[in-house]
Structure 1
């Protein structure tokens, strides 16, 4: 179908759709709006609701006019119905007896035609059957929700137990380093001199404790003060000193 040709200002010359409430033959017109994305005129459902406060749905002849939807069958926003030139839409108002039914427009693909006819003619046997089924379902809904809640609780407890088991089996174990073994340390220390021990002592507390006895085993004091250990260091490590020599 070829796209319609619009004036420079299509909103200024937009058409209108005629509506009536049967059995009355008098009509009211509602201005259409141009959907610039599709190039089609549409009637906003909100405009219909402003004019017909109790509108339930509209139809053309015996066919219900559905709200427009996208390719994924989601209703377009804001809700709208297609504009159909030269057609008078019949407005079906809500019946107070069935006001518990959804206020949105009824889609004929989801509602039995006999139900619609019952709502329009007052022969509401089919509609009552649907309402009774709905009420029966709603009565059992709390029980279903309770069962679902209990099931979720059981699943949550099972997941918690599995999580605890997984954490127990994957808990990090203390890491053992080769230098934690005295035999290996002795083999390494055999190849180090006092200067190496001093360097190792600066790495961390563990190395400082391992090398302290080798560093302070023998202490030499000379005439150059800056080369001698401090008094506080001697006091702290004096118990490790085995030989003490002084040079001038």
Structure 2
């Protein structure tokens, strides 16, 4: 489970060689552009008026405010509109495991692999296979949370490699998780939950269904751990930034 990678994918303390640094800058800017396109396409899709077919098939719950019903109806077709694009943009993050293995970055291999695997599980193992996930309106909130997080993260790393760290971007990197972790991880969990065969007795569930159910339960303590970790990291980063500012 991951709404953003908690580990840093920037350069090692000793600094990478020029070719490696140039590659990492290009990778981070390309990834930022990829997620910016996902965000733009999602917002564009959600802001378009739903078709008559979408109005007939979406069936929003009664608690959805009337003014949000069109957005809900469009959200149920977000995967159909840009699921393939999102899947391949996210798959590009697999290179981060390679970067860690090769020593291009200081992120631990195991942590990076777990973070990337959780996203690949969502786009390949869940959304790519189950129509219930594809028509869940929470697929849209998941993608929005991911894309906002990743635009900030990749631009932060790219500019850091270039020797600059804008204060606003630093603040966004270590503050937006307060909202984007719950919305992203919560959406991930319930997109998975939507694929469970709840209409069948447990005796008819297969191993894969039990596995998805177990992961749904695991999502919540994992969210608490990552949330707590980022709060600690935020305090360290801003304490360090405050100390540097006073020293100048």
Q: TM-score range by the shorter chain?
A: under 0.3
More strand by share: 1
TM-score (ref. length: structure 1): 0.21
TM-score with structure 2 setting the length = 0.21
Higher RCO, Cα 8 Å, sep 6+: 2
